[in-house]
Amino acid sequence: MKKVISTDAAPAAIGPYSQAVEVNHTVYTSGVIPVVPSTGEIPQGVEAQAKQALTNLAHLLEAAGTSMDNVVKTTVFIKEMDDFAKINEIYAAFFTGAFPARSCVEVARLPKDVLLEIEAIAVK
């Protein structure tokens, strides 16, 4: 059975989708962007945006009853591949132990013209 997950601690969906969905003790998140949920602001710079997006992701996973420690796969969409090393540095600080599998893709444009978006699959 599918369970919809939502929280005010992560950016609200800006379209016809759920922030996350749980099926069979596995949580699938939608893409999370670096919007400050309480203000709607977008931090400046790739490091600040990476930190905000990952913080939002952590809050979304917590609302689903899991955590960053239980993430098994992420997909990171970035505006500029030249920012890969900076994003990696921030990304590494959000995970402990074995890192999840990951794909990273450079894209032409992201919602609200942010510099990155991240989605995850986590187990409970």
Q: Which residues are catalytic?
A: 104
DSSP H or E run through 77: strand 71-78
DSSP H or E run through 106: strand 101-106
For tokens 């996973």, what's the residue?
61
Structure-block tokens of residue 97 = 């132990």
